[in-house]
A and B are shown apart, each in its own frame.
Chain A
Amino acid sequence: MSGAWQFYVATLIIYAFVYIIAAAGLNLQFGLTGVYNFAFIIFQAAGAYTTAVFSLGSPGAFSGFQTYILGLHLPFPVPLLASAVVAGVLGVGLGALTVRRLRADYLAIVMLVISLIATGVVTDYQGLFNGAAGLALIPQPFSSLTSSSIVYDWLYAVAAGVICALVLLAVRMMNESPLGRSLRAVRENENAAAALGKNVTALRLLVFGLGGAIAGISGSLLASFTQAWSPSSWLYTETFVLFTALIVGGTGSNLGPVVGAVLVPVVLAEGSRYLPQFGPPTLVPSLEWITIGVVLLAFLWFWPRGIVPEPRRVFPPASSSGPHSPPRARGLSVKNPQRDRGPSR
């Protein structure tokens, strides 16, 4: 491969990993637990900004070129971990303010408003993260390892891949564990879950925190790869793209976020690069967005469960011959006991 192609492919792969991580975090909140977090992107932003201010060093070094808070200069794993912690804490905090008080679907509206507020405040208040211009020259974490930028990109892709695999593994383990069953119970019927002794609010706060931390990791990876981050990187439409990715891939399934993240943001958005240039410069990007909108509506209408649907979990009826099976009441038959239906939205 020529150099330019290598750069391109490596960049695409890194973007894919970042989107997959973010989609996995969103899947934990939305797919598994039914929490409609329309402010998801601000947790990615929190991670990105945390990484920036933990690695940029003192703002004085830029002689007024950019202003921001904190300005630490710490080696690689620290900014990434700090991003996860900050975004996770932010998630629990915002969740604690809203989750208990609002019905799940009205929460979507309030979270959307919070996303707008956050973008507005960061854009207008320049002292925080350099306002609308955003932060630039965020240090590259592994730049000391190699001087070749192509090797660096591949190295970064491998690191992102490892982190992505760890995140997917963690979400998968949660999904298959008893915790995952509790989360799905909250999604399907919160009153029933509460009646069975599940602490619905605590479970929701947990996924707010964990999903937020995962989003923070994705933001950290993205910001230290692109080395720049500004309010235009995290408009609420980005949350829309991630939700579209999940709906296309399949909400609640383990593979859904992977498929969706690769198809929607990466293939749809990057595929247009191969179209011959025609019309005014804004035409092709516009058509991209129109395609994303049409794909979303088509999936919601025709395939609402996505390409990789969540498996229908059907438990075999307890057999009366088993040694530990509970005695069955005669004459009382329950049709399809414990059948776990797909997300009912």
Chain B
Amino acid sequence: MQSLALYIGFGLVTASILCIGAVSFTLQFGISNLFNLAFGATMTAAAFVAYVCNSAGLDIWVSLVLASLSASLLSFLLNRGIYVPFRRRASGMFTMIMVTLGVGVILQYAIEAIWGADNFSYNMAAGRAVHVAGMLFTTTQLAVIAIAAVAAAGVHIMLRYTRLGKAMRAVAVNERLARNCGIPVKAVIDGTWLLSGALCGVTGVVLVMDVQVLNSGSGDDFLILIVAATVLGGIGSAYGAMVGALIIGVVSEVAAGFINAQFKDISAFIILAVVLLLRPTGVINSIASAKEMAR
């Protein structure tokens, strides 16, 4: 059982990165009813900002903060400049998916036009190996897990106990009712995009810190797992995203270790397919049922 603990450890690292991304992705869906497929490209953009800062001699953790801030700004601007105007034209969810896909494609290939298809990596200390209860981590990975834990706890505290969080939940469930109750919906939406954009940036950078490879497709490849975790947990629900991330992260690494490396993604997808079959709106579907997504 020594090796089981080892693989669960790997899974926890993947799950942590997934968790930050999935929470951010699902907040955007909840608040704006938007399946933001430009999310992956935003992650990549943030990772490249961190790369540029890092190459200029800044410490990787400082670069992480700067990248997160720029992703926050980028997400905010995309929402205000493109998504909101399209939404105001009463575009349905389908048009909005196409819009975010279009934005994502433009963003991703703009990055590729600048940096090409080459691989990059950060200039950082790998950190030493640490054994925790049979699991093996580098110090960097422990930091990633800590960041995810802080992010998850922070989102939980915010949603439960702050006025902004309560307002966000209200807007997610019923925007019109929230507005009629005097909630400044526009400001709440702006705040959500700034916050989720920052988390999106963090995801992009810690992903590259963990896998140590960065190219123009990094974020988009990882977005597939984020989408899987989000839909598995129940889209729109922050807690669902955390559960989904944990399941997808741990199961995929354990399957990769015990069966075959081929089964890493398949196992995640099989779980997702089974859940979708039984419960198309995911594990925790409070937001999904509030939005009446299933019949």
Let me know if B200 is at the binding interface, CB within 8 A. no
Most A-side CB within 10 Å, residue of B93, B273, B292: B93
User: CB-CB < 8 A to A124: which residues of B?
Assistant: 262-266
Q: Let me know if A97 and B294 touch, CB within 8 A.
A: no
Q: Let me know if B99 and A110 touch, CB within 8 A.
A: no
Interface string of A107-121 (1 = CB under 8 A from B): 011101110110011
Query: Assuming the A-B contacts A116-B224, A124-B265, A126-B262, are A110 and B280 also in contact, with contact meaning beta carbons closer than 8 angstroms in the complex?
Result: yes
Q: Which residue of chain A has its CB nearest to the CB of B268?
A: A120
Which residues 266-289 of A sit at the B interface, judged by CB distance below 8 A? 279-283, 285-287, 289
User: CB-CB < 8 A to B110: which residues of A?
Assistant: 286, 290
CA distance A155 to B285 in the complex (A): 54
User: CB-CB < 8 A to B112: which residues of A?
Assistant: 282, 286
Let me know if B60 is at the binding interface, CB within 8 A. no
Interface string of B206-250 (1 = CB under 8 A from A): 000000000000000000100110010001000000000000000
Let me know if A76 is at the binding interface, CB within 8 A. no
Task: Spot the interface stretch: B101-109, B149-157, B165-173.
Answer: B101-109
Q: Let me know if B105 and A290 touch, CB within 8 A.
A: yes
Let me know if A339 is at the binding interface, CB within 8 A. no
Query: Assuming the A-B contacts A113-B276, A116-B269, A124-B262, are A297 and B97 also in contact, with contact meaning beta carbons closer than 8 angstroms in the complex?
Result: no
Let me know if B92 is at the binding interface, CB within 8 A. yes
Let me know if B127 is at the binding interface, CB within 8 A. no
User: CB-CB < 8 A to B235: which residues of A?
Assistant: 109
Most B-side CB within 10 Å, residue of A283, A293, A294, A304: A293
Which residues 239-295 of B sit at the A interface, judged by CB distance below 8 A? 262-266, 269, 272-273, 276-277, 280-281, 288, 292-295
CA distance A237 to B106 in the complex (A): 12
Contact of A292 among B105, B228, B281 (CB under 8 A): B105
Q: Let me know if B280 and A287 touch, CB within 8 A.
A: no
Contact of A102 among B92, B94, B273, B295 (CB under 8 A): B295
Query: Assuming the A-B contacts A120-B269, A282-B113, are A106 and B106 also in contact, with contact meaning beta carbons closer than 8 angstroms in the complex?
Result: no
B interface residues (Cβ-Cβ under 8 A, vs A): 35, 82, 86, 91-95, 97-99, 101-103, 105-106, 108-110, 112-113, 116-117, 224, 227-228, 231, 235, 262-266, 269, 272-273, 276-277, 280-281, 288, 292-295
Q: Let me know if A103 and B228 touch, CB within 8 A.
A: no
- Known: A247-B98, A281-B116; 17 extra A-B contacts, CB below 8 A, are A36-B97, A102-B293, A105-B92, A106-B293, A113-B272, A116-B269, A120-B224, A279-B113, A283-B113, A286-B113, A287-B109, A293-B103, A294-B102, A296-B102, A297-B82, A300-B99, A304-B95
Question: How far does the Cβ of A292 sit from chain B's closest Cβ, in whole Å?
Answer: 7
Q: Which residue of chain A has its CB nearest to the CB of B107?
A: A293
Interface size (A, Cβ < 8 Å)?
50
Contact of A100 among B97, B105, B295 (CB under 8 A): B295
Interface string of A67-108 (1 = CB under 8 A from B): 000000000000000000000000000000110111111101
Q: Let me know if B231 and A110 touch, CB within 8 A.
A: yes
Q: List 20 A-B contacts (CB under 8 A).
A: A105-B92, A106-B281, A108-B94, A110-B276, A112-B97, A113-B231, A117-B269, A120-B224, A123-B265, A240-B98, A244-B98, A247-B98, A279-B113, A280-B116, A281-B116, A282-B117, A293-B102, A293-B105, A294-B102, A294-B106
The number of residue pairs between A and B whose CB atoms lie closer than 8 Å in the complex comes to 133
User: CB-CB < 8 A to A285: which residues of B?
Assistant: 109
Let me know if A54 is at the binding interface, CB within 8 A. no
Let me know if A38 is at the binding interface, CB within 8 A. yes
Q: Let me know if A300 and B86 touch, CB within 8 A.
A: yes
Closest 5 CB pairs of A and B: A105-B93, A293-B106, A106-B293, A286-B113, A289-B109
* Interface of chain A: mostly helix, strand, loop or mixed: helix
Q: Let me know if A237 and B269 touch, CB within 8 A.
A: no
Query: Assuming the A-B contacts A116-B227, A345-B92, are A98 and B280 also in contact, with contact meaning beta carbons closer than 8 angstroms in the complex?
Result: yes
Q: Which residue of chain B has its CB nearest to the CB of A104?
A: B94
Query: Assuming the A-B contacts A117-B273, A247-B98, A345-B95, are A109 and B109 also in contact, with contact meaning beta carbons closer than 8 angstroms in the complex?
Result: no
Most A-side CB within 10 Å, residue of B35, B98, B263: B98
Most B-side CB within 10 Å, residue of A104, A237, A281, A286: A286
Q: Which residue of chain B has its CB nearest to the CB of A344?
A: B92
CA distance A106 to B265 in the complex (A): 23
Question: How far does the Cβ of B108 sit from chain A's closest Cβ, in whole Å?
Answer: 8
User: CB-CB < 8 A to A102: which residues of B?
Assistant: 280, 293-295
Let me know if A65 is at the binding interface, CB within 8 A. no
Q: Let me know if B292 and A103 touch, CB within 8 A.
A: yes
User: CB-CB < 8 A to B227: which residues of A?
Assistant: 112-113, 116
Let me know if A5 is at the binding interface, CB within 8 A. no
User: CB-CB < 8 A to A62: which residues of B?
Assistant: none
Let me know if A301 is at the binding interface, CB within 8 A. yes
Question: How far does the Cβ of A104 sit from chain B's closest Cβ, in whole Å?
Answer: 8
User: CB-CB < 8 A to A303: which residues of B?
Assistant: none
Query: Assuming the A-B contacts A102-B294, A117-B272, are A108 and B265 also in contact, with contact meaning beta carbons closer than 8 angstroms in the complex?
Result: no
Query: Assuming the A-B contacts A102-B293, A113-B276, A121-B269, are A108 and B106 also in contact, with contact meaning beta carbons closer than 8 angstroms in the complex?
Result: no
CA distance A296 to B96 in the complex (A): 12
Q: Let me know if B99 and A297 touch, CB within 8 A.
A: yes
Most B-side CB within 10 Å, residue of A98, A103, A281: A103
User: CB-CB < 8 A to A121: which residues of B?
Assistant: 266, 269
Contact of B94 among A105, A293, A294 (CB under 8 A): A105
CA distance A267 to B79 in the complex (A): 31
Q: Which residue of chain B has its CB nearest to the CB of A301?
A: B86
Contact of B109 among A38, A125, A243, A293 (CB under 8 A): A293
Q: Let me know if B94 and A106 touch, CB within 8 A.
A: no
Most B-side CB within 10 Å, residue of A113, A126, A240, A296: A113
CA distance A285 to B272 in the complex (A): 33
Interface string of A242-281 (1 = CB under 8 A from B): 0110010000000000000000000000000000000111
